[in-house]
Structure 1
């Protein structure tokens, strides 16, 4: 049994060499297909993850009016600017937000802290707005219990006295979700089309092998060779084509993904969004590339054998 299997394996390798340029064409087709499929999968999986993270971490930025000092225990005396008095409206807005249904967490960020964030992400040009020139607002960052509660919570907070506006990204967030759905739909459609093309080319390669060995196959039938004995070399040939075609895409996608991860993760991390980590994504995508390659090679062989190998 084992000896027969290795005999078929060796025969399939000889078939690959015998077909020459058709084998190269089939392997190249699988390579190009898997590069594109791997790219689509990387984009689709990461877009899906980012959209999910964004959906689960949608926060409402509650901007306070410039005249409101909700988080200051003491404020300047309106009658004497040189004197400090207790703030009679201390955390008035905060307590009102707490009473809004479905509010999970409230975090305060002063306008100075907001300016520091902008300076860190957009450059030192924003330092010119430090001090009294700071045009930003004090902000309460509010998290809702569930993503679907965000819109209602934002609407309720926007009506609180002392709130300039409550912003959760509204239209922009919905655009991102819509773009994620478009990428998934068209990406999967494009990947399916490319896989079909690769299967077609592999089946043609196997067909040429079958036609070139018709006489040998007839002799094998005459001497009583079983159907499985005749089919196995062709099946393994298709699997070899798929496996060899998966090698280059696996290394290429791993290399490019590491570079892309390093370049994109830093700005995304500032928004608390994270791509799939290379240590887990790359081994999974390599295994997936090999499985897909062998699968389409095997399917191509089966299709060709059914059509051209009448047993």
Structure 2
């Protein structure tokens, strides 16, 4: 699977494209705080750069009321351009965006740039510039850096990659994020740069970090069953309402570990979509959890045609 559509929602608001310089909007611009504004360069024809589009945006709307921003493509030629300048511009504009509470960097489809070709940069300056930011997301792991930091307001952190480095995982794990309720990491495959091991996830699993965590998503991983085995006895699970192990190589051995481990009947939801479970084991999971009101997502099951080496993650390219 690849990502073929732009985001429809972020920060609890519908995403609205900020039209290009020559486009005539079909209706007046939305109220500044009513939508999540998607700002993108003309990645196909190079008519307007991202800095130019952002500057025009700040001139066109009441920036002081903007609550959510979604950054699309920032290049005008090749998508192997890092977004260092973009990060600097967004950080420098913090005083003009005092109401910003949700930011996503990299809402890019596969037609614009495959997820593993997106060149990111250090996200630390953005989080430091916006201490009241509540939701932050980023797509693309190439060049991505997330140094340990402290942020008292962040409630949701989402990092989407086809291959996430252990340095980023460790940076998140070492950060002070006392308000974080939702952590969503797409770990990816070693083919695209993933090198994190289960041991790197231990700060999340032990419950020693992230005291407010209620949803944990460690997904799109080639070590999905190994992660499940570690979670079977992980202290953090007891205080979760949702556990997401979807989009990866989850199979019968991972399900067996969950079934034999600590109770999961307190969960509101267990997301395992895109899995490699046999019908028998999938049925055991349903029987063990659904009578307790747990929503178990076992959609997109894939019939295994060989051994574990034949499994694949949902998003890798």
Give the TM interval when normalised to the shorter protein.
under 0.3
- State the structure with bigger RCO (CA 8 A, min sep 6), 1 or 2: 1
Relative to its length, the structure with more strand (as a share) is 2
Q: When the two structures are superposed, what TM-score results if normalisation uses the length of structure 1?
A: 0.20
Q: Which has the larger radius of gyration?
A: 1
